[in-house]
Structure 1
């Protein structure tokens, strides 16, 4: 009877206590930089210097001017980034799905599939830096592109936006390999009996994809859309090559953010932090919208 007294203290599981302590420590480790950046975005320049990074600004050091300035500076770039990030994400996911369908479910001989699959795997490991010079030379040689789009410039659209089209094509081409591999790993687990039954009923390859494979791909589409949108939204290298300057009418948000808060007097850390959080809002929105499907797709 004496072993059951003491308010349950003797029943404490040391392993569980240790586990919770580790989890709390990890949460603090990862959230402290976010908290420091967030409170810095609400500090005046004086408060940034006089207070610790993670300390609240206090009454006299609190300001929202940094956020107002960041929104005013980045709003145009936010729209430009959406112009290429959304279509590039959707197109690369769709083409990756179709390609994976062809490499997984269709009846090809392995000796034909293997070399193609090897090319897609190799495409994943090509670093951005390795293609910057060929990429700039390629688009420099596509001179008729601006002539083909002359009707847009005649309508009053700035011809700097040809860089947006170049970014869309570039990110789609660069994203297809990783999207293909992700979808292929998912399609390998699809029931072959269901696909074979549809073929016996006379369904074509296109109809099998549209009626069976595509509806079952929702979880993996969520994974690919979140991954691709985040990669494209945060990319700076391709933007520097194809758009070049933050003063361009088509400058994306990452290009403007790179120079935000810099002046001869030094760096405005509060403005930079406010800009960083504002620029991250679209990626956060995508995670929230597709979070449940993302978890399902990762677990599959």
Structure 2
């Protein structure tokens, strides 16, 4: 069918003209590169997904990215993965959600204090430098003091003995420790992201509110906070993803997957591993199931995330 031709289907006329004018070789090459890049990133995901539906025989006999076929298709691994990880999913939500919300809110207030109020720049620079320094401290550098802090100095399990008397396992002290740890480690990056966003706000709007007698607290509550929705989406998605996927702090604080408070990443690390070898289908099913909460967060805050990144 040539350019400009009309097609008639059942009496209805459909315009199927393709306007190829203005499409250069550079544009076509760019589209091809983008398609290849998308395929490069999507093929491993597709391979893992189809592997999760394969039997052991199909995994051996088929290519990683090839579908299992009717004889090699099974949903058993997904059922086993859900049964194994469901408890861990609940435990992970117990610390990931509050740690994300608290670190985002505290980061917003801190960034507001370092951006909007007028105080000596030398003092502000020192405080900002100390906060930003926290971003560059690697997790591995704080493992020993972190362990000593929770096991020797604070001993949260003993301090909350009245809670465990209600029948709650004292292993859940690790959940509280993970919340506090991730909040402390997340405040610097949250502060930096919010401060970058707040520096783009209209100074005239803030100054007008101050001239009308609004206090710093009222300015934040009535003006700054309502306008912070897009950046809150960015921070919430970033923080939740980082906290949900973190294994290092979980290993240090909770230690064992047999604990009643074991998060999903800790259980996932040993899923499908036995003396007989690796159950790749089970591990892939568990990995995709464990990733569902982060995917849901991206879907819920996707539009606000794009707006916040573009701001």
Normalising by structure 1, report the TM-score: 0.96
Q: What's 2:64 paired with?
A: 53
* 2:175 is the counterpart of 1:195: no
User: Any gaps of 5 or more consecutive residues in structure 1?
Assistant: none
User: Any gaps of 5 or more consecutive residues in structure 2?
Assistant: 5-17
Q: Cα RMSD between the aligned structures?
A: 1.5
* 2:154 is the counterpart of 1:154: no
- TM alignment of 1:1-300, pairs within 5 A: 13-143=24-154, 145-300=156-311
* Distance in 2, Cα, partners of 1:9 & 1:228: 44
Against the structure 1 CA distance between its residues 160 and 10, is the aligned structure 2 distance closer, same or farther, given a 3 Å change threshold? closer
How many residue pairs get matched?
Answer: 295
* 4+ aligned runs moved over 2 Å, structure 1: 7-13, 141-148
Report how far residue 202 of structure 1 moved: 1.1
The CA deviation string for residues 140-183 of structure 1, in whole angstroms up to 9 with x for no partner, is 12455223322221111110000000000000000000000000
* Distance in 2, Cα, partners of 1:190 & 1:11: 39
Against the structure 1 CA distance between its residues 86 and 8, is the aligned structure 2 distance closer, same or farther, given a 3 Å change threshold? closer
The CA deviation string for residues 48-99 of structure 1, in whole angstroms up to 9 with x for no partner, is 1111000000111100000000000000000000000000000000000000
The CA deviation string for residues 119-138 of structure 1, in whole angstroms up to 9 with x for no partner, is 11111000000000000001
Against the structure 1 CA distance between its residues 116 and 41, is the aligned structure 2 distance closer, same or farther, given a 3 Å change threshold? same
3-state SS of 2:66 partner: coil
Report how far residue 8 of structure 1 moved: 7.6
* Distance in 1, Cα, partners of 2:238 & 2:114: 21
Normalising by structure 2, report the TM-score: 0.92
* Distance in 2, Cα, partners of 1:298 & 1:12: 30
3-state SS of 1:296 partner: helix
